[in-house]
Homo-oligomer: A and B are copies of this chain.
Amino acid sequence: MTAELIFVGTELLLGDILNTNAQYLSQQLAALGVSVLHQSVVGDNAERLADALRLALSRSDLVLTTGGLGPTKDDLTKEVAAEVCGLELALHEESLSAMKSFFAAKGVQMPQSNEKQAYLPKGAVIFRNTNGTAPGCAMETGGKWILILPGPPREMKAMFRLSALPFLRRFSDSVLVSRTVRTFGIGESAMAERVSDLLDLENPTVAPYAKSGEALLRVTAKAETAEKAEALIAPVLQQIDARLHDVIYGVDVGSIEEAAVALLKEKKLTVATAESATAGLVAKRLTDLPGTSEVFHCGIVSYSDDIKARLLGVDETTLQTQTAVCEDVAVQMALGALRQSGAHLAVSITGLAGPGRDELGRDAGLAYIAMTDGETLWKNKITTGHTEGDCRDYNRTVFASRVLFEIYRYAAAYPRKAAFGSPLNESLRKERTK
A307 touching B303, Cβ below 8 Å: no
The listed residue (B13, B17, B30, B297) touching A14 by CB distance below 8 A is: B30
The listed residue (B281, B385, B392) touching A280 by CB distance below 8 A is: B281
A299 touching B296, Cβ below 8 Å: no
Q: Which B residue sits closest to A298, measured CB to CB?
A: B307
Please indicate the chain B residues that have their CB under 8 angstroms from the CB of A279 in the complex: 280, 283-284, 286-287, 296, 299
Q: Does any Cβ of B come within 8 Å of A421's Cβ?
A: no
- Which of A203-211, A229-237, A327-335 contacts the other chain? A203-211
Q: Does any Cβ of B come within 8 Å of A393's Cβ?
A: yes
Which residues of A339-391 have CB atoms within 8 Å of chain B's CB atoms? 340-342, 353-356, 385-386, 389-390
Q: How far is the CB of A279 from chain B (nearest CB, A)?
A: 4
- Which of A121-129, A151-159, A239-247 contacts the other chain? A151-159
B15 touching A30, Cβ below 8 Å: yes
Q: Mark A1-43, 1 if CB is under 8 A from B, else 0.
A: 0000000001111111111101111111010000011111111
B288 touching A301, Cβ below 8 Å: no
Q: How far is the CB of A120 from chain B (nearest CB, A)?
A: 20
The listed residue (B23, B72, B301) touching A199 by CB distance below 8 A is: B72
A14 touching B27, Cβ below 8 Å: yes
Please indicate the chain B residues that have their CB under 8 angstroms from the CB of A25 in the complex: 15
B12 touching A189, Cβ below 8 Å: no
Please indicate the chain B residues that have their CB under 8 angstroms from the CB of A42 in the complex: 37-38
Contacts A42-B38, A72-B199, A281-B280; is A209 near B297 (CB within 8 Å)? no
In the bound complex, how far is the Cα of B111 from the Cα of A220, in angstroms? 27
B299 touching A280, Cβ below 8 Å: yes
Q: Does any Cβ of B come within 8 Å of A85's Cβ?
A: no
